[in-house]
Amino acid sequence: MSSDQATQAPRSGGIRNAVYVYGIVPADVQPEEHASGIGDPPCDIQVVRHGEVGALVSEIAVDRPLGTPDDLIAHARLVDGAAAVTPVLPLRFGAVMSDRDEVEKELLDAHHDEFRDALEELEGHAQFVIKGRYVEKNILREVLDENSEAAGLREKIRDKSADATRDLRMALGEIINQTIEVKRAEDTRRVIDALESLEPVVNERQPTNEEDAVHVAVLIELSEQDELEETVTRLAEEWDGRVEMSLLGPMAAYDFVAKQKPEG
């Protein structure tokens, strides 16, 4: 799938307004009355259409700076909200084009069949993100209980100064990190296996913290959301006190859309 052929600055020449593009949707989509985009006050959302596809857009001033935390939140809120009810190909934050005609001709017309096919693949699906974070004191205790070498090093450095035990501390830290990497891989596989009945498309994300236990994005049918939530709840109960679990979504399929920056 591909969705991000729109990220470019508006052309010069005295244009006072530009069009901000949030994502690609089926042409028959109508914005919700309460839908709003970036800006203060928030911009109204419109749909530019061409053939079987459309683009969620709002008009913005060209001299308006982008990238505030509120902008990022508004962008995600709109795209994720739409993804809960219709297939969406999310565009990268900051996708701006000169006007509605450019959106239609250079984005929708130029990539019509590609967008249509990608939206058909996403029909009835949404992305969810499963995160697990090790409880620090408990995972360290687990490592020391299971690894005699680590436990021995821990005893050698107990009640001794950091300077006197620098090498031992570095060796212990390396063992702990390596052991947690192995546990992370095992626990991630445990989560993926538990989701097998949902037949998800899975993207294993890189850890964002050394205490991450699981960080995966899954693309599933929206009709399976309840079962996904139940599965994550069971895992959280199984790992109570060891791993703190969380589930985010439904959201747009960020991890499953190939984002390409336009030429020029």
Average pLDDT over residues 112-131: 96
C-beta atoms surrounding 193 within 10 Å: 8
Note whether 47 and 65 are within 8 A (CB): no
* pLDDT tens track for 9-39: 444 455 578 999 999 999 999 988 788 899 8
CA-wise closest residue to 10 among 56, 61, 46: 61
**Is there a contact between 257 and 118 (Cβ–Cβ < 8 Å)?**
yes
DSSP track, 40-69? TTTPBPEEEEETTEEEEEEEEETTS----H
- Within 8 A by CB and 6+ apart from 166, the residues are none
Cα separations in angstroms, 138 against 55, 134, 144, 188, 213? 48, 8, 10, 18, 13
- Residue 41, number of CB atoms within 10 A of its CB: 6
Rounded CA gap, 37 and 94, in Å? 12
User: Under 8 Å CB-to-CB from 222, ≥6 apart: which residues?
Assistant: 84, 124, 125, 126, 250
Helix, strand or coil, per DSSP, at residue 74? helix
Residue 118 burial class via C-beta count within 10 angstroms: exposed 0-12, middle 13-18, buried 19 and up: buried
pTM given for the model: 0.83
Name the residue among 259, 255, 261, 260 with its Cα closest to residue 127.
255
What is the tens place of the pLDDT at every residue in 136-176?
Answer: 999 999 999 999 998 898 888 887 888 888 888 899 989 99
Give me 48's structure tokens. Answer: 């530019």
Closest Cα to residue 120, out of 253, 245, 238?
253
Tens of pLDDT, residue by residue over 176-234, are 999 999 999 999 999 999 999 999 999 999 999 889 999 999 999 999 999 999 999 99
CATH number for region 126-255? 3.30.70
